[in-house]
Amino acid sequence: MAAKVELTRPTKIELARLKRRHKLAARIQKIVKDRLSILIMEFLQTVKECATVKERQLSEFREAYKALSLASGYHGSVPLEKELLMSEMAIQLSSGMRNVAGVRMPLFEIDTADPVRSAVKDRTETSSLLDHSTELARKCLETIIELAELENSLELLGREINKVKRVNNALEYIVIPSLDVTIKYLTMKFEERDREEVSRLKYVKLLIEKKEAYAF
């Protein structure tokens, strides 16, 4: 789309003001581009981390399922379900925010918690298979929290990247080209005025010289 000339007063003060606006817009565009580069780099890095965590999550879920299947085969489904219902897992989760190029993203930190505790006093009916499966389940839960943090960060980064892109496109394709065209238009107008003024002064000087020559 062709840039349009801004409707403005054809004065040199206005031309100076437009030149200042152009300089400021160019500086802002550079800042916006730098911020956009940082956001895109962070987005790509988060995508890689998210893919890695998803692969780890699938692996941990497979291991947890195998361990739970072995525990179920050893204890039986009913006693195992009873044991799991009477067990409790203490997990402490701290939440915060981190700032990346002006984007506030969530930060979850899992504190070291106590191992799984059971309300059953008689531990002769349980085995290490159950402890192993519950520990793997704990790791799966921690991975789910980590993945939730990454996916939320991806969503926030994606939104901000789209917003910054719109600002950059507006500066690059609308604001700055419009200022360029307007500045060029006013500059040519003033140059034309100067040429007309010079021609008028030459004509007036010629008339004065002719008048002085006829006077003698």
Tell me the CATH number at 192: 1.10.287.3240
pLDDT value, residue 114: 52
In this prediction, residue 101 carries a pLDDT of: 84
Q: Which pLDDT score, from 0 to 100, does residue 42 have?
A: 93
Determine, yes or no, domain membership for 1. no
For the chain, helix, strand, coil in percent to 5 are 75, 10, 15
Taking 70 as the pLDDT cut, the residues of the chain under it are 1-8, 79-91, 112-127, 212-216
Cα Dmax for the chain: 137
89 occurs within a structural domain: yes
What pLDDT score does 171 carry?
A: 93
Say what the pLDDT of residue 85 is: 62
Q: What is the pLDDT of residue 155?
A: 93
Residue 200 belongs to some domain of the structure = yes
Q: Is 72 within a domain?
A: yes
Q: Report the C-alpha gap between 195 and 169 in whole angstroms.
A: 38
Q: Residue 40 forms beta bridges with which residues? A: none
Q: Is residue 5 part of a domain?
A: no
- Residue 70: per-residue pLDDT: 81
DSSP three-state, residue 93: strand
Examine residue 7 and state whether it is found in any structural domain, yes or no.
no
Domain count along the chain: 1
In a domain, 66, yes or no: yes
Predicted local confidence at residue 120, as pLDDT: 45
Instruction: Please count the other Cβ atoms lying within 10 Å of the Cβ belonging to residue 51.
Output: 11
The pLDDT, as a whole number, for residue 28 is 94
**Model-level pTM?**
0.73
Task: Report if residue 173 sits inside a domain.
Answer: yes
Q: Which domain holds residue 145?
A: 12-215
